[in-house]
Amino acid sequence: MTKFIFVTGGVVSSLGKGLTCASIGMLLEHRGLNVRLQKFDPYINVDPGLLSPAQHGEVYVLDDGTTADLDLGHYERFTNTKLTWYSSWTTGQIYQRVFEKENRGEYGGATVQVIPHITNEIKQCIMRLGGSDTDVVITEIGGTVGDIESLPHMEAIRQFALDVGKENCLYIHLTLIPFLNAAKELKTKPTQHSVGQLRQIGIQPDILICRTEVSLSQEERAKIGLFCNISTDAVIEEKDKDFSIYEVPLSLTENKLDQLIVDKLRIDNASLLDLSDWRELVSKLRNPQHEITVAVVGEFAGYRDAYKSTYEAIEHAGVQYSTRVRVIWKPSREVLQANARYELGKANAIIVSGSFGESEIDGKVDAVRIAREGNIPFLGIGLGMQSAIIEFARNVIGLDNANSTEYDKDTPHPVISLLDEHRTYIRNGGTLKIGADTTVFKVGSLIHTAYGKNQLAYERFRHRYEFNNQYREQLERSEMQITATSPDSLLAQGVELPNHNWFVGVQYHPEFKSQPTKPHPLFNALVNAAIKTIKKQ
| Cβ neighbour number for residue 360 with a 10 Å cutoff | 19
Residues 89-128 that bind ligand GLN (CB under 6 A): none
d(CA 369, CA 333): 15
The minimum distance between CB 136 and ligand GLN, in angstroms, equals 34
511 binds ligand GLN (CB under 6 A): no
The minimum distance between CB 466 and ligand GLN, in angstroms, equals 7
130 binds ligand GLN (CB under 6 A): no
75 vs 461 by CB, closer to ligand GLN = 461
d(CA 468, CA 199): 60
The minimum distance between CB 427 and ligand GLN, in angstroms, equals 15
121 vs 406 by CB, closer to ligand GLN = 406
355 binds ligand GLN (CB under 6 A): yes
The distance from CA 105 to its chain's CA centroid, rounded to whole angstroms, is 38
Which neighbouring-strand residues pair with 140?
7, 39
248 vs 436 by CB, closer to ligand GLN = 436
Sign of CA dihedral 409, 410, 416, 422: positive
383 vs 388 by CB, closer to ligand GLN = 383
241 vs 464 by CB, closer to ligand GLN = 464
249 vs 382 by CB, closer to ligand GLN = 382
d(CA 88, CA 104): 24
Task: Render 436-488 in DSSP notation, one character per residue.
Answer: EEEEEEPTTSHHHHHHTT-SEEEEEEEES-EE-GGGHHHHHHSS-EEEEE-TT
Helix 91-103 / helix 119-127 crossing angle, nearest 10 deg? 110
Residues 380-409 that bind ligand GLN (CB under 6 A): 382-383, 406
d(CA 13, CA 155): 20
Which segment (47-55, 159-167, 286-294, 351-359) binds ligand GLN by CB under 6 A?
Answer: 351-359
91 vs 485 by CB, closer to ligand GLN = 485
191 vs 355 by CB, closer to ligand GLN = 355
| Cβ neighbour number for residue 217 with a 10 Å cutoff | 11
505's enclosing H/E stretch is strand 503-506
| Cβ neighbour number for residue 168 with a 10 Å cutoff | 16
465 binds ligand GLN (CB under 6 A): yes
Pairing of strands 425-426, 414-419: antiparallel
String marking each residue 435-464 x if it binds ligand GLN according to CB under 6 A: ---------------------------xxx
Q: How many residues bind ligand GLN (CB under 6 A)?
A: 10
d(CA 15, CA 209): 11
String marking each residue 306-345 x if it binds ligand GLN according to CB under 6 A: ----------------------------------------
239's enclosing H/E stretch is strand 235-239
Q: Nearest residue by C-beta to ligand GLN?
A: 382
44 vs 50 by CB, closer to ligand GLN = 50
The minimum distance between CB 112 and ligand GLN, in angstroms, equals 38
String marking each residue 224-253 x if it binds ligand GLN according to CB under 6 A: ------------------------------
The minimum distance between CB 390 and ligand GLN, in angstroms, equals 12
The minimum distance between CB 405 and ligand GLN, in angstroms, equals 10
The minimum distance between CB 459 and ligand GLN, in angstroms, equals 12
User: What are the Cα distances from residue 237, in Å, to 178, 215, 225, 265, 369?
Assistant: 12, 7, 12, 20, 49
109 vs 357 by CB, closer to ligand GLN = 357
74 vs 364 by CB, closer to ligand GLN = 364
144 binds ligand GLN (CB under 6 A): no
User: How many CA atoms are closer than 13 Å to the CA of 197, on its beta-carbon side?
Assistant: 19
Which of 356, 395, 423, 517 touches ligand GLN (CB under 6 A)? 356
Which segment (46-54, 348-356, 436-444, 449-457) binds ligand GLN by CB under 6 A?
Answer: 348-356
263 vs 358 by CB, closer to ligand GLN = 358
For residue 511, what are the contacts with CB-CB under 8 A and spacing of at least 6? 307, 309, 310, 312, 313, 381, 520, 523
354 binds ligand GLN (CB under 6 A): yes
| Cβ neighbour number for residue 338 with a 10 Å cutoff | 7
The minimum distance between CB 463 and ligand GLN, in angstroms, equals 3
For residue 165, what are the contacts with CB-CB under 8 A and spacing of at least 6? none
423 binds ligand GLN (CB under 6 A): no
Task: Tell me, letter by letter, the H, E, C secondary structure of 28-42.
Answer: HHCCCCCEEEEEEEC
The minimum distance between CB 271 and ligand GLN, in angstroms, equals 40
313's enclosing H/E stretch is helix 308-320
Phi and psi at 485, nearest 5°, equal: -140, 170
121 vs 391 by CB, closer to ligand GLN = 391
Residues near ligand GLN (CB under 6 A) are: 354-356, 382-383, 406, 462-465
